A and B are shown apart, each in its own frame.
Chain A
Amino acid sequence: MSIIAYNHKMAAHCESGTVTSLLNNRGLEITEALVFGISSGIFFGYFHKMKSFTFPTFIVRNKPGQMRSNLSKRLGIKFHTEKFRKPEEGQMALDRLLEKNIPVAVQVDFFYMDYIPSWEKVHINVHFIVIVGKIGSKYIVSDSYFPQLVELEGESLRKARFAGGSMSPRGFLFYPEYIPEKIDFENAIIKGIKKSCFYMLKLPIPFLGVKGIRSFARKIVEWPSRSRDIEHLSHEIMKINILLEDQGTGGAGFRFLFATFLQQAADILKKPELTDLSKEMMVIGDGWREISLRAARYGKNRDLGIDRLKELGEMLSNRATAEESFFKKLYKLIKE
């Protein structure tokens, strides 16, 4: 087997980057920002007490896989998707597709990507890469986090595709099967924006969207009572930074990506007002980055008194206010 001709590019985020890259390589011109915006990738959720989490946590994007399915609905693109019970079946299916010269996206545990420096390795079951070939026992990988194509041992890929734990990949793979000749981007952008506004403003659940940011702002002062000791609390506070900055593109990064989407949407929809909102979203992203940095500093220095937590809560509350105002303006503009 050899390497499929594939144009590799880095991307801001693995899922939107992988989908964009597969579509670009099938000849569809679409940017990562458009994929993210059309699929309503921007989101927020805060989980203070959930059975599946031992400590409060939060998410800053929609759930894994939803970008692909929303994009599919809005652009009429069909993706072939498949999961496997047995690793051997998963590997055979992948090899068969590669033999047919089909680049295939697979869901993996990031930890087993041997080309990533050891200090960056963490177990995340929802990383996406594209496999573009196989030479001997090694697969050729296009990973949007990495500047060039890389090799990965078959055994590592097997472990990564069939890792256990929360959101285990179960060998999940996908690739575009059908791309319509004509795509109504304008309509798709409008639907994507409306849904994003709905997710952020109108979900009737108190821990999702802007309400989720507010909930986080209120509840962060309760974190000491949920932690074992100062070391545990420090670790959890520093995880705010990791979730906002290091894993995927986090709070700031996703906000910057959404801002880029609005800039591109302004040109496509011929709505210059979206450019102003794009700039506003960039500033909102900067605010998230400030929170990330502050949390990292406090956590690193074990500077975790109640005043510090209140300070973080206030910064979060400011983000909630800014995002509420932003999405209200965006919704008003787009429904006109």
Chain B
Amino acid sequence: MTEPTQVLKWEIKELILETLRITDVDLEKIDDEKPLFGSDNALTLDSVDGLEIIMALQRKYGVRIGDQNLARAIISSVNNIAAFITQEKAKING
């Protein structure tokens, strides 16, 4: 399976900051591995932010996360989002 690229992870972080209109957090301070919700990451998001991110991912990458339980797992960290998008792109490209 193709591994998510650093460029994709960077792009995801940019998308999160842009979507949530966050201007006071540096991209490089967001840990790829640490949870984005209820944690000590540079970003501490809530469920409303989560929903905004899900919709922004759908708009940008054309990936619909219909299943809320799956959504919760996917958007839990930058690494998980990147892995999901990479996997979905691979499916589309056959």
* Bound: A286/B51 CA distance, A: 12
Identify the interface centre among B52, B64, B67: most chain A CB within 10 Å of its CB.
Answer: B67
- Contact A293 to B52, CB < 8 A, known contacts A119-B38, A245-B47, A246-B47: yes
Whether A144 and B69, one on each chain, are in contact in the complex, defined by CB atoms closer than 8 angstroms, is: yes
Whether A145 and B69, one on each chain, are in contact in the complex, defined by CB atoms closer than 8 angstroms, is: yes
Q: Is A117 an interface residue (CB 8 A)?
A: yes
Q: Is B68 an interface residue (CB 8 A)?
A: yes
Could you say which residues of chain B place their CB within 8 Å of the CB of A12? 66-70
Q: Is B90 an interface residue (CB 8 A)?
A: no
B47-94 residues at the A interface, CB under 8 angstroms: 47-48, 51-52, 54-55, 58, 64, 66-70, 73
Whether A293 and B70, one on each chain, are in contact in the complex, defined by CB atoms closer than 8 angstroms, is: no
* Bound: A241/B64 CA distance, A: 18
- Contact A249 to B52, CB < 8 A, known contacts A117-B38, A119-B38, A147-B73: no
B50 nearest CB neighbor, chain A only: A245
Chain A nearest Cβ from B38, distance in angstroms: 5
A260 nearest CB neighbor, chain B only: B66
Whether A297 and B73, one on each chain, are in contact in the complex, defined by CB atoms closer than 8 angstroms, is: no
Q: Is A192 an interface residue (CB 8 A)?
A: no
Residue of A117, A256, A282, A296 near B51 (CB, 8 A) is: A296
Whether B51 and A249, one on each chain, are in contact in the complex, defined by CB atoms closer than 8 angstroms, is: no
Q: Is A253 an interface residue (CB 8 A)?
A: yes
Whether A253 and B51, one on each chain, are in contact in the complex, defined by CB atoms closer than 8 angstroms, is: no
* Bound: A282/B64 CA distance, A: 9
Could you say which residues of chain B place their CB within 8 Å of the CB of A145? 69
Contact-residue size bin, chain A (C-beta under 8 Å from the other chain): 20 to 34
Whether A253 and B68, one on each chain, are in contact in the complex, defined by CB atoms closer than 8 angstroms, is: yes
* Bound: A64/B37 CA distance, A: 30
* Bound: A282/B67 CA distance, A: 12
Contact-residue size bin, chain B (C-beta under 8 Å from the other chain): 10 to 19
* Bound: A195/B74 CA distance, A: 34
B26-46 residues at the A interface, CB under 8 angstroms: 37-38
Could you say which residues of chain A place their CB within 8 Å of the CB of B52? 293
Q: Is A250 an interface residue (CB 8 A)?
A: yes
Q: Is A176 an interface residue (CB 8 A)?
A: no
Whether B48 and A297, one on each chain, are in contact in the complex, defined by CB atoms closer than 8 angstroms, is: yes
Whether A292 and B69, one on each chain, are in contact in the complex, defined by CB atoms closer than 8 angstroms, is: no
Q: Is A130 an interface residue (CB 8 A)?
A: no
Could you say which residues of chain A place their CB within 8 Å of the CB of B51? 241, 245, 289, 292-293, 296
Identify the interface centre among B37, B51, B52, B73: most chain A CB within 10 Å of its CB.
Answer: B51
Whether B48 and A293, one on each chain, are in contact in the complex, defined by CB atoms closer than 8 angstroms, is: yes
B54 nearest CB neighbor, chain A only: A289
Mask for A292-312, Cβ within 8 A of B = 1, else 0?
Answer: 110011001000000000000
Could you say which residues of chain A place their CB within 8 Å of the CB of B55? 289-290, 293
Could you say which residues of chain B place their CB within 8 Å of the CB of A293? 48, 51-52, 55
B35 nearest CB neighbor, chain A only: A117
A253-272 residues at the B interface, CB under 8 angstroms: 253, 256-257, 259-260
A117-B38, A245-B51 known, 17 other contacts, Cβ within 8 Å: A10-B70, A10-B73, A12-B66, A12-B67, A12-B68, A238-B48, A241-B48, A245-B68, A253-B66, A256-B64, A256-B67, A285-B66, A286-B58, A286-B64, A289-B55, A292-B51, A300-B48
Show 15 residue pairs from A and B whose CB-CB distance is below 8 angstroms, ordered by the A residue: A11-B69, A119-B38, A241-B47, A241-B48, A245-B51, A246-B68, A249-B67, A249-B69, A250-B68, A253-B67, A256-B66, A257-B67, A285-B66, A289-B55, A290-B55
Q: Tell me the B residues contacting A by CB distance below 8 Å.
A: 37-38, 47-48, 51-52, 54-55, 58, 64, 66-70, 73
In the complex, the 6 A-B pairs of residues with the closest C-beta atoms, listed nearest first: A256-B66, A296-B48, A12-B67, A253-B68, A293-B51, A249-B68
Q: Tell me the A residues contacting B by CB distance below 8 Å.
A: 10-12, 117, 119, 144-145, 147, 238, 241, 245-246, 248-250, 252-253, 256-257, 259-260, 282, 285-286, 289-290, 292-293, 296-297, 300
